[in-house]
Structure 1
Amino acid sequence: MKLSIQLGFLSAANIGLAFVFQWYVLVKLGPGVETDALFAGMTIPQLVLAVISGSLMHVLVPLLSGESEDRLRHDTWGFFVLIGGIFALLAVLLYMAAPWWVPLTVPGFNETGQSLTVTLTRIQLVGMVFTAINGVQWAAYHARQQFLWAEFTPILVSAFALLLLIWALPRFGVIAAAWISTLRMGLQTLLLAPGMGRPVRPDLRCPSVRQAWQRIKPLLLGTAYYKTDPLVDRILLSTAGSGSLSLYYLAQQIYGAVSQVLNKAFAAPLVPALSRLHKAGDKAGFRRAYHRKLVQVGAISLVGLLVLGLLGQTVLSLLVGHGNVSAGNVRELWWIMVWLSGMFAGGVMGQISSSSYFALGDTSTPTRLGICSYTFYVPAKIALYYYFGVFGLAFATSLFFVVNLFLQHHFLKTNHFNFLYGEVLCDDK
């Protein structure tokens, strides 16, 4: 519990600084064309990272946990070179083709808005490469169960980035926000470098690379499909009123910030712990650890949503109701968060259930479930958006996360825990 509290505190500080960064941009510029373009420009880099880098983290941490220090160091450098090369090539290709594909993601923007989105997207593609490399570095720290420095480094770079933003944004506008975000990722790569250990010649044909590829294939195929959710959102919201995309993105970021705190405090330490229990054959301990964490994050998320319902509008007024953000903007933001509440509760609890699959080495089941639920979800999302606007879009998103949580829990119990219960009963006899 001490580690969870420490990680939660560090993660909260880090996410708080990241939120203040975005808050300052929104308050200083106001919800409008510039902020819509900035947040829309993040879509493809974040999508690529969610598909590849996020999948890699789920695979690398269980794979590296429990290995010898020498083996871990060799594997980490191999993945570092491999992932860095892949993302650098991808960034170059996307950068060159940006004038053609970026306007397709924001069809509702006018020509000026689309041109600005192209420029901001290109800047953030550079940061995408650093973020992907950071994922390998974080996996090495997590596999060693050295969580604290990995969580502290973003605080240092975010504090520096915020000070730089306060100076640069009034002088250079929204372009400064994009460049500072990229610089922040580069500095984080430098601070995490000691966790890589002494450089070694990477062996890209080692068994760990082949095993990682076998595990990551179903994740790549699935997430390449159902992680396009933000892209669908941006396409739809580009046709809404000016500023709606920024407010919807801010609502997602607020929930994402709190979710990340809970994930860092509960889900991140859970993966290597469950991986060790699984490798040791302690199935009863695995089951107890999963249920305990699921109940803990579920209770915390429900309390948080109750606070949102009772005090949310007042708190949001204090947080973002300044500068060029009007009272009407705050009220719209609160209603978006109310209708998005299922995304928060279902997301944080779903992270616990999906982490349990990954600790077992089962990457295909959560991927198949995500594909199936997403197939029904996208048409529902489009229909609800055109009938009810932004609030309909938020409700559809909530429904997706809640349904996906129940599916993951059901099949985890059916495919894995029934066997675990049977094993425990036999042992008791």
Structure 2
Amino acid sequence: MLRSVLTVGGWTMASRVLGFARDMLIAARLGAGPVADAFFVALKLPNLFRRLFGEGAFNAAFIPAFAGSLVKESREAAQDLAERMGALLGIWLGLLTVLGLIFMPQLLVVLAPGFQADPAKFELAVELTRITMGYLPLICLTALVSGVLNGLDRFAAAAAAPVFFNLLLMAALVGLTPYVATPGHALAWGVLASGVVQLAMVWVAARQAGMMLNLLRPPALTPPVRNVLRRMGPGLLGAGVTQINLAVDVIIASLLPSGAVSFLYYADRVAQLPLGVVGAALGTAMLPLLSRQLRAGHTLAAHRSMNRGTELALLLTLPSAVGLAAAADPIVAALFQRGAFGAEAAAASAAALVAYAFGLPAFVLVKVFAPGFFARGDTSAPVKIGVTAVALNLALNLLFMNWLAHVGIALATACAAWVNAGLLAFVLARRGHFVADRRARRVLPRIVAASVVMGAVVVGIAALLPGTETSGGRVLQAVLLIVAGAAAYVGAGVALRAFNLREVLGMLRRRRA
């Protein structure tokens, strides 16, 4: 599992670093004004589907079925399932895209109702979202081919594909802006181009892995296909609760003054670094691993995988959450405060980052616990829990927004994530599918203690740092806090025996070998 997590996590880290470069460029060129708000709403719809399909419902239903066909039937049967699903997805997504292009104004009344108060902003959001809608079928088919690669234990190409999303958006913003109406239009066309490149990349990788997929094959509702579709329906909500909650955030934020959507976007982008690297990597690696272990009857091995996944999630996300909360202001200022993005916008985004950081461990734990259901073919329990989390998020959004504005929206999402993760763990434990073993009971409290020590060190150093007005000075201060926090966490973790540094280094050496 560690090898797969490192492969996915390494490429995801590269993508996130480029993503920060992309967002720094967007912040400098667009700031947090109406064009930025319109583009982020235009990006939200295809991104919601990407995260649902790429990291959620589709793979939750498809990968266990694909892995089962490989183990119990044949490679040809698994390829047939992938091609039949690809044909159905292509038809459905093509229809969905056409309907979206036709009814985009009505759709945005639902997704961004507050934009109607500014007709120019609403019209711009409609134009940009019509362009980015073409990304939806491309990226969802990319998710299907990525699921095939993951089922074959080939993780690198699928994890590397999002790198081109960031590269093409930066290229479009710099090179295309003079030739289109606004920088938002340039970014929207960059999104569409990246979908073509990502699909081509994973398709070639699947071909090299011996899966020459014919995505134009006529569809057929064979029994394996019907089984995937049956499991996929409720999983759309169960696996995508976090993304649905983030979509609710945008709907509510559109009702707030201009800039709220952008503040939440930039804060979420910073929080997405550990969430994307750790959460996506764990979710991607654990589902096929648990599926194979359970199909082979190795329940004890599956139990150990759940424990080690939980341990690894908290080992990496607890210090990340504490560090982001303790150093939110200098980190956001270092990343985004330049050009059109001023100190006021940086402070507003940093406040939202603190709230998102509170929920960060829960977001990642959901990625660990949900495969425990999906690998057993159970999508009904996560969907029931998901409905509860979505309803709670909406209620808390409406409650908090009146006195905390956009920060209340982020805090509501974090609270809903903890409820979601807690209920998933409770149901797994009640069924006997997840019980903390001796190692987890010994290590987890020590990880918490090491994270608290690190947070105290970061807060203390941040209080001693002088104010700076230069971009370079802000970057140096943020780097100092990150390095000091990492050193404090490693030192405290080793002293408290939260982890064995020699064991971790040994696993990394084996991974390189």
Which of 96, 113, 121 aligns to 2:102? It is 96
1:319 corresponds to which of 335, 339, 343: 335
Residues 418 and 141 (structure 1), Cα distance of their counterparts in 2 relative to 1, 3 Å cut: closer
Which deviates more from structure 2 when the two are superposed, residues 348-357 or residues 149-158? 149-158
The alpha-carbon deviation at position 188 of structure 1 amounts to 0.8
Structure 1 equivalent of residue 197 of structure 2: 187
Pairing 1:38–2:32 present: no
Change (3 A) 1:224 1:273: closer
Task: Report the number of matched residues.
Answer: 421
Matched residue, 1:426: none
Q: CA deviation at 1:228?
A: 4.0
**Which whole-Å CA distance do the structure 2 matches of 1:81 and 1:121 have between them?**
25
- State the shift of 1:420 in Å: 12
Q: How far 1:48 sits from its partner (Å)?
A: 4.3
AA at the equivalent of 2:17: G
Structure-2 residue corresponding to 1:63: 65
The amino acid that maps onto 1:367 is V
CA drift at 1:222:
5.7
Greater relative contact order: 1 or 2 (C-alpha under 8 angstroms, separation 6 or more)?
Answer: 1
State the AA in 2 paired with 1:88: G
1:23 CA drift (Å):
2.7
Answering whether residue 226 of structure 2 is matched by residue 210 of structure 1, we say yes
1:77 shift after superposition: 1.1
What are the within-5 Å matches in structure 2 for residues 75-90 of structure 1? 75-90=81-96
What fraction of aligned residue pairs are identical, expressed as a percent?
Answer: 22
1:143 aligns with 2:173: no
d(CA) in 1 for partners of 2:434, 2:38:
49
- 1:383 is aligned to 399
TM-score scaled to structure 2, two decimals?
A: 0.77
The CA distance in 2 between the partners of 1:14 and 1:296, in whole Å, is: 21
Q: What's the counterpart of residue 484 of structure 2?
A: none
Q: CA RMSD in A?
A: 2.3
The answer on whether the counterparts of 2:81 and 2:224 sit within 8 Å (CA) in structure 1 is yes
**1:225 and 1:313 mapped to 2: Cα distance?**
28
1:164 deviates by 3.6
**Cα offset, 1:28, TM superposition:** 0.8
Amino acid at match of 2:99: L
The worse-fitting range, judged by mean Cα deviation, of 184-193 and 103-112 is 103-112
Structure 2 letter corresponding to 1:130: L
SS in 2 for 1:65: helix
Q: Specify the alignment match of 1:427 in structure 2.
A: none
Alignment partners' CA distance in 1, 2:32 and 2:225: 45
Q: Distance in 2 between matches of 1:213 and 1:188?
A: 24
Aligned residues of 1:283 and 1:420 also touching (Cα < 8 A): no
Matched, 1:24 2:25: yes
Cα shift readout 1:207-227 (whole Å, capped 9, x = no counterpart)? 210110221132246679985
CA shift for structure 1 position 363:
1.1
Is the 2:113–2:251 contact (alpha carbons within 8 Å) kept by the matching residues of 1?
yes
In structure 2, the CA distance between the partners of 1:231 and 1:151, relative to structure 1 (3 Å rule), is closer
Contact 2:333 2:343 in 1 (8 A): yes
2:494 corresponds in structure 1 to: none
Change (3 A) 1:342 1:306: closer
The offset of 1:64, in angstroms, is 0.7
1:290 aligned residue: 306
Tell me how far apart the structure 2 counterparts of residues 263 and 345 of structure 1 sit (CA, whole Å): 9
Counterpart Cα distance in 1 of 2:164 and 2:251: 35
> Aligned partners of 2:105, 2:145: CA distance in 1, in Å?
32
The code of the aligned residue for 2:321 comes to: L
Alpha carbons of 1:418 and 1:103: their partners in 2 closer, same or farther (altered >3 Å)?
closer
Q: Is the 8 A contact 1:10 1:151 kept in 2?
A: yes
The answer (yes or no) to whether the contact 2:245–2:413 under 8 Å persists in 1 is no
- Could you list the per-position Cα deviations for residues 236-271 of structure 1 after superposition, in whole angstroms to 9, with x for gaps in the alignment? 212322212101012122222321111343221111
Residues 397-423 of structure 1: CA deviation (Å, up to 9, x unaligned): 1110011111100101112427999xx
Moved more, 284-293 or 150-159: 150-159
Match of 1:113 in 2: 121
Q: How does 1:275-286 map to 2 (within 5 A)?
A: 275-286=291-302
Query: Where in structure 2 are there 5+ consecutive unaligned residues?
Result: 438-513
Asked if structure 2 preserves the Cα contact closer than 8 Å seen for 1:43 and 1:230, the reply is: no
The answer to whether the 8 Å contact 1:79/1:209 transfers is yes
Structure 1 residue 352: Cα displacement: 0.3
Q: Distance in 2 between matches of 1:18 and 1:288?
A: 34
- Over 3 Å counting, the alpha-carbon distance change for 1:199 and 1:349 in structure 2 is closer
1:65 maps to a residue whose letter is A
Write out per-residue CA displacement over residues 61-110 of structure 1, whole angstroms, 9 at most, x where no aligned residue: 11111413211211111111110110010010111011233234323220
1:209-288 alignment, distance < 5 Å: 209-220=225-236, 228-288=244-304
Output the TM-score relative to the length of structure 1. Answer: 0.91
Which residue type is aligned with residue 75 of structure 1?
Answer: L
Partner of 2:258: helix, strand, or coil? coil
1:6, 1:193 → 2: CA distance?
19
Aligned to 1:413: 429
Q: Quick one: which amino acid aligns to residue 149 of structure 1?
A: A
